Structure 1
Amino acid sequence: MRAIVVQKFGATPELADVPVPAPGPGEVQVALEAAGVNPFDLKMADGLLEGKMPTDFPMILGVDGAGTVSALGSGVTRFAVGDKVVGKFLTAPAGHGSWAQYATVPEDATLVPIPDGVTSVAAAALPIAGVTAQDLVEAAHIQPDQTVLIVGATGGVGSFLIQLANMAGGHVIATARADATDQVARLGATETVDYTQVRPADPTDASHDPATYRDSGIADAVRFTHPDGIDVLFDLISNPADFAVHATLVRRGGHAYSTTWAADERALQEHDITGGNFESKGRGPELSRLLARVASGDVVVPVQMTVPLEAAPAVLGAGSARGKTVLAI
């Protein structure tokens, strides 16, 4: 079968021909139709799991995947051949991911039915980005009319966050380029901060990546329109220095979360701010709940583009996302 693999950590991802995996006891084989692309995939290829999880090589990349159950191992009771399913294809040993024509996963892993009316492409965009956004909103306990700032709002997680924070009643401020203003407004943002127009960071400061957002300018822009501060910060892209500046906007008693592990949690606690570095723990029940929201039309799946499997190396880590990229298999 065709798959996107790396031969070792740090190697260039490539299209390869590998054996079709057979389901073992308690496992489900899925004929994949679509797979999501996430920043985590590049981190896996570069060695994020080295020393943390056993890994088989060549390592098939990809975590998010959707398709049809094609075979069952002995003892499987939750699924039947022909079921439409979506899930996370990352279990030990790593290296048997979703960027392939077939994958196997234990039936008790994160694998759930796709409801009627939801396509495989839409479903494949949900497991990491969508569930992370849903978990963040629920952790922050957003109340009606609270002010919510989303830094990095146009990517996969951000596009879901805008919608879910808006559904919770939040007044959403999104950072985005000017040409994405209409996009984030349609998703539910009330205000937009164009990070390309705010004061740039000091170019002599090596801690600032010119490809990322500019910290003090975003904070100044939000503080100008909200001098009393904000209630919730979701920062999806910043380094520690930038996150610290953005966190100064949050009122005492508020919430601030970083998905890039940039938060100084002790400093937040000293300012009576809850949150910190966030890692989604959502599994099957949370994914099913999000799928139900999509099926009912309450949540739109922001697929930016769909590309064939062989194009995965070209889009991996491309940056400047406007929603989700999905591989058609």
Structure 2
Amino acid sequence: VGDRVFGVVTKPYLGDGSLGEYVTVPVQVGIAKLPDTVDFVEGAALGLAGTAAVDAVDAAGIEPGATVLIAGATGGVGQQALQLAVAAGAHVIGTASSEEEKDLVTGLGAAATVDYKADVAEQVLGNHPDGIDVAFGFAGDPSALVPAVKQGGRLVSSLIMSPDDIQADGVQVVAIYANPAPETLERLAKNQAEKNTTVTVQRTYRLEEAAQAFEDFAAGTRGKLVVTLA
């Protein structure tokens, strides 16, 4: 596939992982060419989060003019999904609490924000009493978003294993398990190269700083943390 590649080291089951300088991966999944205009840090940040976002937005079937809520809008998946939803013509509401988070989310195209530290569904219904068309649950309890979705709408979440995990009469629930197929990764790279979307890298770490990276991740982020080998 060439010298400049990026992707997601994956396997057909969830389990323990690790960090290392070298890894063997199957070329059939998880690997794609990285455009010359996209650097390796951006590529590393795009892989899994971007795949989850693309799969989620594809599953949502967003129509132009739809009203969309993104819970977890400040995270890696949420930021990508937010930009893709805006590009699809949606009126996007993103969750954010601090002024810095609000600026980040609106800067990526959100028309409005709601505070994730309060009742998100209640805030959404205050401005959209008939409910919204699509809710994405990338953070928090996705079932708490159900009241904000209108009858016939969709709730798409990467935090559940099955639609049966959420009771949502009249709302279609879609469970997302990111599949880093080469064609999906190529879409991500093309969007990044053509500036259709952007990825926020909050901080990079050397490999020996990996423990600190995990601590910082657990404390909450406004984008992606990347461990580099440079």
TM-score (norm 2): 0.90
Q: In 1, are the aligned partners of 2:76 and 2:199 still within 8 Å (CA)?
A: no
Q: In 2, are the aligned partners of 1:163 and 1:187 still within 8 Å (CA)?
A: yes
Report what 1:152 is aligned to.
72
Q: In 2, are the aligned partners of 1:176 and 1:195 still within 8 Å (CA)?
A: yes
- Which of the residues 156, 159, 162 maps onto 1:260? 159
C-alpha separation in 2, matches of 1:154 and 1:120: 22
Report what 1:299 is aligned to.
197
Give 1 or 2: higher strand fraction: 1
Alignment-mate amino acid for residue 111 of structure 2: T
Structure 1 position 195, deviation (Å): 2.7
- Which of the residues 139, 152, 159 maps onto 2:59? 139
> 1:24-63 counterparts in 2 under 5 A?
none
Structure 1 position 319, deviation (Å): 3.4
C-alpha separation in 2, matches of 1:177 and 1:192: 8
C-alpha separation in 1, matches of 2:78 and 2:23: 28
Q: In 2, are the aligned partners of 1:148 and 1:230 still within 8 Å (CA)?
A: yes
Q: In 1, are the aligned partners of 2:69 and 2:94 still within 8 Å (CA)?
A: yes
Report what 1:311 is aligned to.
209
Q: Deviations over 1:17-39 (max 9, x none)?
A: xxxxxxxxxxxxxxxxxxxxxxx
- Which of the residues 120, 140, 145 maps onto 1:238? 140
Identity %: 39
C-alpha separation in 2, matches of 1:279 and 1:152: 16
Q: In 2, are the aligned partners of 1:89 and 1:96 still within 8 Å (CA)?
A: no
C-alpha separation in 1, matches of 2:148 and 2:26: 44
TM-score (norm 1): 0.64
* Range with bigger deviation, 223-232 or 90-99: 90-99
Q: In 2, are the aligned partners of 1:96 and 1:103 still within 8 Å (CA)?
A: no
Query: What is the aligned length?
Result: 225
Q: Deviations over 1:90-137 (max 9, x none)?
A: 237998967221111122232111011000000011111011101111
Which stretches of structure 1, 4 residues or more, deviate above 6 A after TM superposition? 92-98
> 1:13-28 counterparts in 2 under 5 A?
none
- Which of the residues 105, 121, 133 maps onto 2:41? 121
Alignment-mate amino acid for residue 108 of structure 1: Q
Gaps of 5+ in 1: 1-78, 199-216
- Say if 2:102 is the partner of 1:181: yes
Alignment-mate amino acid for residue 238 of structure 1: G
Structure 1 position 282, deviation (Å): 3.6
- Say if 2:185 is the partner of 1:287: yes
Q: Which has the higher contact order (CA 8 A, sep 6+)?
A: 2
C-alpha distance 282-254 of structure 1, shift in aligned 2 (>3 A): farther
Give 1 or 2: higher helix fraction: 2
